[in-house]
A and B are shown apart, each in its own frame.
Chain A
Amino acid sequence: MKRIESRINPASADFRNNAAHYRQVLDAFTEKQHRTRHDRPARDIERLRAQNKMFVRERLDLLLDPGTPFLELSTLAANEAYGGDSPGAGCVTGIGIVSGREVMINAGDASVKGGAWYPLSVKKTVRALDIALENRLPVVHLCDSAGAFLPLQAELFADRYYAGRIFRNQCQLSKLNVPQVAVVLGHCTAGGAYVPALSDYNVIVRGNGAIFLAGPPLVKAATGEDVTVDELGGCDMHTSVSGVADYPAATEEEAIAIARDIVAQFRRPEKSRIEWQEPEDPWYEPVELYGILPADIKIQFDMREVIARMVDGSRFHEYQPGYGKTLVCGYAHLWGYKVGILANNGVLFNDSALKGTHFIELCNQNRTPLVFLQNITGFMVGREYERQGITKDGAKMLMAVSNSAVPKFTVMCNGSFGAGNYGMSGRAFDSRLLFSWPHAQISVMGAEQAANTLAEVKIRQLARSGQTLTAARIAEIRDPVLAEFKRKQSAYWSTSEIWDDGILDPVATRNALGMGLSAALNTPIEDPRYGIFRM
């Protein structure tokens, strides 16, 4: 496997302009991320202190093994929703190391509206448990939530992927022999009571922790019974009478220490075997990515330059280097793990789609996980390409991507427009993890094209009745569409809606994928089986 030969000149004006631009993009992202993670109004922090509670970040510091990486997921979830009332969707999820085991963390953040579940909090939690299921990751739940945010209950309660799915996923995890431990640090009321109840182990803090189907006010209203929190569902009642909870703890510190000791009893998983060799750093400096990504999203760049700054030794075995050149395919090692990479170097043509399909089948045959690096404006359009059957070649690629049995990972490296999003394992195609870079954009078509298309439709409608549109009227149609598209195609919107598992600094992507690959190997890799490839 030979090293990619970079053609980038870090001294060039283009490189320096791009790098300066990207530093700004990153500063904005880092600032947003820091605010979401750590900035809370003083009164909220004081309230936690008065309740003798730690902030969720302090709890995580105690829970996770010191000096180990924590791959936080969907940090900026819900940041574009609810007027910013639910930073990070009021919970923290991610893959971390506890007592030497890879685990999924699902932690409520009681500093925000008492940790109330908004619709996107539920979506983020369900996604974390979906990841735990797909990768057979044990789960540590840190429970501290006021329960459903009642004004929005209709958008989070009863549908297939709403709150019930959390408990359904917990049951599925248990069936797969994937252990869970819950730490009850606040009230687990109604549905929330099932999180500790469905965990294999749970710990409850005396005083603050409580588990019940209905709290004292609701009990009073329903039956007239007067009862205190402690009598109804406190630590000592549950650990000595009902058996709903297992381990009593005097403080949060003790509770988290018990949880760590419980995780230390978990059986270590047997990893699936794939090709692996001693990892090495990329030969080219990953920070050079900032100078490679063009300041203007319309400007094409060579994805091999990105691969060179992501994989071990910058080495890449390129498959079919001369065919279907707009899709770069090949093998590399990432943190030692052999991966098959598919990366866009332009629009998808018939030949690039066929090459991609063939390569996905190769990787399935030889059990090589797939990494998709998206920068795609779509499949080629036009008479010639339709006559060559661009749609059926695209369909072949979708067939291979959807039925691929090896773990898949997707990174939104720049643009993701049109059906190319699907062919390159977009969100709907079940990548184990999908990350975006902060400048990335996703939409069904470009903002300009969408605005023009809608204006064109209106112009033609009116032309049929003999009317014409003034330039001002056309602008009135175009401008709002343009503004709406621009807002909703940004990575911040995608990540707020949890269309990805979080935004990453491009330089951090190598580590994130390494952790994802390691986690993915907890699940046996099945043999691939496909449907009908339209020939």
Chain B
Amino acid sequence: MHHGFVLDDQEFNVELSRAREGYRLHFEGQVIPLSLRAGDDGGQILTVRGHSEPVRVAVDGDWLHVHLAGSTYTLRYQHPLDRLAAGHQDGAADHIVAPMPGSIVAVLVRAGDAVVRGQSLLVMESMKMETTITAPRDGVVDAVHFDKGQSFDRDTLLLDLVAEPRP
């Protein structure tokens, strides 16, 4: 299993594999034997390369608070597919096209507006249904190509987003 952890703003890629006792941690070319077992006091005992330390772990959603050897570390877990999907950030999604033929019911933003992911941009009507088109990511509206009342075909470009406003 591949895991990505962010610790103090630095990203670490580690892999875990099964071992006869506990796990093996694969990290930057090293293979480190480790195990985690329950301690007497409700905490756990972490053994890395034969060296054992008591450890306490609190999980709060995607956040892990790890208390180890007098220090507390806060880590955020990110699913590898989410981390790798960051490469899509700008691309086709910035050019918002009509999901179906229809007409514009409301235009909620203007060119130059800063928008956040999920913000409503346009409301369109098609096949008796009203559909709200939302921003796929944070950005700035570069151009809105249709006004209220105008109709369009499927896949027509309705709105452009950019990451930064044009100078």
Listed in ascending order, the chain A residues whose CB lies under 8 Å from chain B are 2-3, 5, 7-9, 296, 298-300, 322, 325-326, 346-347, 349, 377-378, 380-382, 384, 415, 417, 446, 448-449
Question: Are A299 and B132 in touch, CB under 8 angstroms?
Answer: yes
12 contacts between A and B (CB under 8 A): A7-B117, A296-B130, A298-B128, A298-B130, A299-B129, A322-B92, A346-B100, A346-B126, A347-B129, A349-B100, A415-B129, A448-B128
Are A7 and B134 in contact (CB-based, < 8 A)? yes
Cβ of B131 < 8 Å from any Cβ of A? yes
The 5 A-B pairs with the shortest beta carbon distances in the complex, nearest first, are A7-B118, A300-B131, A2-B79, A2-B81, A347-B127
State how many angstroms separate the Cβ of A280 from the closest Cβ of chain B.
Answer: 13
Looking at the complex, which one of B79, B117, B129, B134 makes contact with A346 (CB distance below 8 Å)? B129
Q: Please indicate the chain B residues that have their CB under 8 angstroms from the CB of A446 in the complex.
A: 128
Set of chain B residues within 8 Å of A347, measured between Cβ atoms: 100, 126-127, 129
- Quote the shortest CB–CB distance from A351 to chain B (angstroms): 10
Closest to B124 in A: A300
Number of interface residues of B (CB under 8 A): 19
Q: Are the C-beta atoms of A449 and B79 separated by less than 8 Å?
A: no
Q: Are A299 and B101 in contact (CB under 8 A)?
A: no
Q: Is the CB of A300 within 8 A of B129?
A: yes
Q: How far is the CB of B90 from chain A (nearest CB, A)?
A: 15
Q: How far is the CB of A371 from chain B (nearest CB, A)?
A: 22
Chain A CB within 10 Å, residue with most, of B118, B129, B130, B154: B129
Q: Which residue of A lies closest to B136 (CB)?
A: A7
Q: Is the CB of B127 within 8 A of A377?
A: yes
Cβ–Cβ contact A346 & B118, under 8 A: no
Given A3-B79, A9-B118, residue A380 in contact with residue B129 (CB < 8 A) = no
Name the CB-closest residue of B to A381: B127
- Contact (A380, B134) CB under 8 Å given A3-B79, A7-B118: no
CB-nearest residue of chain A to B83: A2
Bound-state Cα–Cα, A3 to B83, Å: 12
B41, CB-defined interface residue at 8 Å: no
Contact between chains at A382 and B99 (CB < 8 Å)? no
Residues on A with beta carbons closer than 8 Å to the beta carbon of B128: 298, 377, 417, 446, 448-449
Cβ of B9 under 8 Å from chain A: no
Chain B residues near A (Cβ < 8 Å): 79, 81-82, 92, 99-101, 117-118, 126-132, 134, 153-154
Question: What's the minimum C-beta distance from A153 to chain B, rounded to whole angstroms?
Answer: 43
Q: How far is the CB of B156 from chain A (nearest CB, A)?
A: 13
Complex Cα distance A446/B129, Å? 11
CB distance from A170 to the nearest CB of B (A): 45
Complex CA distance for A326 and B79, rounded to whole angstroms: 26
- Name the distance in Å between B96's Cβ and chain A's nearest Cβ: 12
B106 CB to nearest chain A CB (Å): 12
**Contact residues in A for B127 (Cβ distance below 8 Å):** 346-347, 377-378, 380-381
The interface residues of chain A lying within 8 Å CB-to-CB of B132 are: 299-300
Q: Is the CB of B101 within 8 A of A377?
A: no
* Min distance, Cβ B109 to any Cβ of chain A, angstroms: 16
Chain A residues, Cβ within 8 Å of B126: 346-347
Chain B residues lying within 8 Å of A380, measured Cβ to Cβ, are 100, 127
Which partner residue on chain A sits nearest B153 by CB separation? A384
Interfacial chain B residues near A349, Cβ < 8 Å: 100, 154
Determine the chain B residues whose CB is within 8 A of the CB of A322 once the complex forms.
Answer: 92
Contact A346 B130 (CB under 8 A): no
From residue A12, how far is it (CB to closest CB) to chain B in Å? 10
**Complex CA distance for A114 and B50, rounded to whole angstroms:** 77
CA distance A93 to B154 in the complex (A): 47
- 6 other contacts beyond A346-B129, A377-B129, A382-B101, with CB at 8 A cut-off? A7-B118, A300-B129, A326-B100, A346-B126, A347-B127, A380-B127
* CB-CB nearest in chain B for A379: B127
From B81, B100, B117, B134, residue with most partner A Cβ within 10 Å: B100
A378–chain B nearest beta-carbon distance, Å: 7
- A378 and B128 CA atoms in complex are apart in Å by 10
